Amino acid sequence: MAKAKSQSPKKDEPTPIEPLLVDANNAVAGRLASLVAKQLLQGEHVVVINAEKAVVSGNRASLVLEYKERLGLRTRSAPWKGPLHPREPDRLLRRMIRGMVPWKKDRGRKAMKRLRVYTGVPEGIKSKRHLDISETSREGRNTVYLGEIARELGWKGLV
């Protein structure tokens, strides 16, 4: 009778890496971005979920105006020619994280490849445990959700 083979990984095969799951629900986007950037630079794989529920502190009207001016929507006659700026909340958050990583260097490029940012919660991740960053929340203060800013910029995503 033949023995059953063990399912242990071979020496040459890399072990699967379990990513660090971070929930951006009610977390201040800048503080969240700095924590995620630090983990990426330390070699962690990071997955951020609920990017549209991250908050940016400040007055809603002035924040939207600032983002629109950055886009050049109000003054440029041909906005489709570029420079192209993100409008989706996951890409806005990704760009905030990129600003805290030395992305022009090899170390930063590798760190950004270890990052995944999602709006909502993907199907494969729903059952997994995630890190809640409650110490960065600013409930009851003058804040705006990143999804609301994205909607003002033209994002037609989640309703």
DSSP class per residue in 110-129: HHHHTEEE-SS--GGGTTS-
- pLDDT of 88: 94
pLDDT, greater one: 6 or 131? 131
Task: Inform me whether the pLDDT recorded for 11 exceeds 90.
Answer: no
Partners of 27 in the β-ladder: 137
In a domain, 14, yes or no: no
- pTM to 2 decimal places: 0.81
In a domain, 37, yes or no: yes
- Token pair in block for residue 97: 């994280």
In a domain, 8, yes or no: no
In a domain, 54, yes or no: yes
- pLDDT of 91: 95
Q: How does pLDDT run across 54-109, given as a tens digit for each residue? A: 999 999 999 999 988 887 655 556 656 666 788 999 999 999 999 999 999 999 99
Domain range for 111 is: 20-153
In a domain, 53, yes or no: yes
The CATH number for 109's domain is: 3.90.1180.10
In a domain, 125, yes or no: yes
Q: How does pLDDT run across 23-52, given as a tens digit for each residue? A: 999 899 999 999 999 999 999 999 999 999
In a domain, 93, yes or no: yes
Q: Strands, E, within 2-140: which ranges?
A: 20-23, 46-49, 55-57, 115-117, 131-132
Provide the domain count of the chain: 1
In a domain, 61, yes or no: yes
* Element spanning 66, H or E: helix 60-71
- If you average pLDDT over residues 115-133, what whole number do you get? 84
